[in-house]
A = this chain, B = another copy of it.
Amino acid sequence: MNLLLLDDADFVAADRVLLRDRRLTHLHEVHRAESGDSLRVGRLGGLMGEGRLLSLSRDEAELQVSFTQAPPAKLPLTLLLALPRPKMLRRVLQTVAAMGVPRLVLLNSYRVEKSFWQTPFLEPAAIREQLVLGLEQARDTVLPEVTIEKRFKPFVEDRLPALAAGSLGLIGHPGPWPDCPRAVEQAVTLAIGPEGGWIPYEVEKLREAGLAPVQLGERILRVETAVTALLARLF
């Protein structure tokens, strides 16, 4: 936790917050914080700044806070991701938030096991929990917008062309494609497939929607590693 992220419910006055949850535990156990310490704080969806610990006990922490600094810029990106397996989903959500992805679409694919759609990690509170961990890690305050598309074809045929319009549309896909471009200046729509990759029909549909396949080399990367590698290459 490199940033103590606060939301409206934490505030008892315009410049005072009270914490009683896992963040309190973290202050004790990881930061080994003491009264008088200064900490980096951020207001969810807002500015970042400094917090001073007025008091700290087993039951609660009180901080005086001030907000002066804008959070880091987001990437100019819409990321489409075939729904990963539940354990990977949690890590990918953290990575997506930490890397500064503003918009994530979790999408079905032929190779997404049907059972993956049943996971409790897809519930809004569970998604939000992982995104907050990513923001705390990277020092950002703005939650990515996550949408869920359980049907590939209607999403890709009916909604993706408008979503991708005016952006560089890319499919991260192993194979004999051009290298993933570097340091692009424009907005990007990037689709990353499931373990085993998109099937040819899906690649064709994504191409019809204006996206073009690019690759990172012969090595097959796990989804989380592929997301990080493609974003670090692109931006």
Contact = CB atoms under 8 A, between A and B. Distances in A.
Contacts of A233: 232-233
A225 B183 contact: no
Contacts of A98: 219, 221-222, 225
A100 B232 contact: no
Interface in A162-190: 182-183
A225 B72 contact: no
A45 interface: no
Given A228-B225, A229-B229, A219 B182 contact: no
A171 B95 CA distance: 22
Interface string A213-235: 00011111110010011111100
Interface string A118-142: 0000000000000000000111100
Given A182-B182, A228-B229, A229-B228, A221 B72 contact: no
B139 A218 contact: yes
A2 interface: yes
State the number of copies, please.
Answer: 2
Contact of A217 (B72, B228, B229, B230): B72
Contact of A228 (B2, B72, B220, B228): B228
A211 interface: no
A5 interface: no
Contacts of A140: 219
A102 B82 CA distance: 31
Nearest to A235: B217
Given A228-B232, A229-B228, A233-B232, A219 B183 contact: no
A72 B218 contact: yes
A99 interface: yes
Interface of A: 2, 72, 95, 98-100, 137-140, 182-183, 216-222, 225, 228-233
24 contacts: A2-B220, A72-B217, A72-B219, A95-B225, A98-B219, A98-B221, A98-B225, A99-B225, A99-B229, A100-B219, A137-B222, A138-B219, A138-B220, A138-B221, A139-B218, A139-B220, A182-B183, A228-B228, A228-B229, A229-B229, A229-B232, A230-B232, A232-B233, A233-B233
